Amino acid sequence: MGKLYRMIAVTCVLTGACSRPTPNEQAAAGEAREDRKRARAAVVPEPPDARFDAAGKLTKGTLRADWFELPSGFQELPGATKQLRTYEASRVPIAKAREYINERVVVDRAEYLVNGVLYPQAQPANTQLVMTPLTISVFEVDRQRQTLRLIVEDRSPPADAKPLMPEVAAQVLLRERNKLE
């Protein structure tokens, strides 16, 4: 057993495994540890989100609902009709969507709700042309994920709809009033 310890001690001394590190080696090892810590702690900046411009405002997307150009990042949900279209986007703050819409539409009044805004009878802000008024709603569906739902509704009658005769219109109005009572 004694020979084994001597052999280990000799090997240890010859290879330098048992020796203590010099102050320079200790300093280098400490610097390496600090470099590793800094590398782990360094935050890799996220690439810029193309949906926002340099000022942090939502940019114009490629989708349109009649005259209204939707902000980038919104995707159309299935089940859309010509008169009602629904879109959704994730990681978009509601304040940014409101700012985008406020710059592009003119309304008599906007209805601010707990989780969104309703813009009834909205018209485009930057034109003198008469356009179909749209009802635009933007709602926060999931606050934590910043998921928004944008609904664009065209309440004008379809172009192929024939006007009702006065007698028929009176009957329809009477039926609807009876339903409400």
With beta carbons less than 8 A apart as the criterion, state whether 118 and 101 touch: no
pLDDT of residue 14: 52
pLDDT in tens, 159-178: 666 777 788 878 888 888 88
pLDDT in tens, 46-94: 556 777 778 888 889 899 888 999 999 899 999 888 889 999 999 999 9
CA dihedral 46, 49, 53, 57 (to 10 degrees): -100
With beta carbons less than 8 A apart as the criterion, state whether 104 and 152 touch: no
Tokens representing residue 166 in the block: 């006065």
What number is the average pLDDT over the span 98-108? 89
Domain spans in the chain, listed from the N-terminal domain onward: 2-41, 60-154
Classify residue 52 by its DSSP letter: B
d(CA 9, CA 15): 10
pLDDT of residue 153: 93
